[in-house]
Structure 1
């Protein structure tokens, strides 16, 4: 009996070491792409794994399964995953990157019936603006002349630096939101947008966004200040009037039916 204890313990320790020894390394840790570009995410394993699985996770979202692949190549729309078992590696190719591809991508290898995950690759896809025309809008309160917020639009992100455009040299008293992609469906175009505000009474949009910044083309652009008031959309006004008209007709029909019903009851 004592002779069996040693081999059994050795076998268990070997299995534990094998499980713990699986190291999953993903590269690059972070990647910034221009919209329409393509790139490859890599995943390497320290030991041979039975199969590889790829997942995508949006910010504050759950894991979404993309691929289950033992070897070879599989396709899923603009994505394809390739696993080379002998070389202990797998790759995820993203073709014609879109804004919706911005997420964190994880690969996991199965070893000893357990999934071992890598640390993930965070992908950020920046909007491709061919002719950037930066502008700053002053948004003032209706009952105050003080500037409430500043809206900065139509700027090109700097893909060489994973940060905001160089135009923003904001002080500690100035707060700004994260860059957001504005999808203007009616115009068939998209643009980058950012909002900045401050509790300071001497906060001015023009002085805050006065500096130059350089897009990927290398041509300098000056942000122009726009102070004119916003105009409502003509199509939106027409739709609102149509809805109001239908509501009036509906009320008239209900009133007429009610009146006829009362007359029938009274007779």
Structure 2
């Protein structure tokens, strides 16, 4: 069984020379690269694009001023983001020059190639490797909880302490985060963290319901809640969470398996837990 990662590289025609160079640098025994260059000019381009996105592990968006000035590339960008949200395909923005990154991509980890392309390509390969190889298949619930503790620590949470489960509710960690308000003053936030590990079953909306009930019944109104799971949030669960937060004026941050892999890819210590050097 092949372990090659299938990567689709999207770019505008003005950047074709840079794109082909990146494609050459990426392609090896472990990475298969498809690009806009592989599209059949005699076929329906949108249909082909959809197929390439759906059949790829990762989509790379080659960002440049020309890319954002291209009407075609702009439509392509929204198509990729929509498909990635629906099908949980990972998208990695790759900047080949300084340009304004649109808000839709702000929460993604953009790889910078314009300062040093060699180190940038290495970072890109590492992120591709993480996003396609990181797996929680061999984890137990206890392993996943221990990993969550390391994740919280790596992302700056302080005074992380484990909590005991009651018969009605289960909260795994309480942690503190220190942020600055618009005036530059540091303020402390208390986060309640629930860890949910699934072996085979998919994410359940009941988990969100239980967290909300716990917050409404036990916690102060302004407390922050974080749910971390190895499973994937379905579109139904995402819609339910969005409606809940709007109508109940509450915030429950959810990091599912897809977001978790992206967070791992940003921290070497976390990467080494899965891909030791």
Q: TM-score, normalization: structure 1?
A: 0.25
Q: Larger Rg: 1 or 2?
A: 1
**Greater share of strand residues, 1 or 2?**
1
**Greater share of helix residues, 1 or 2?**
2
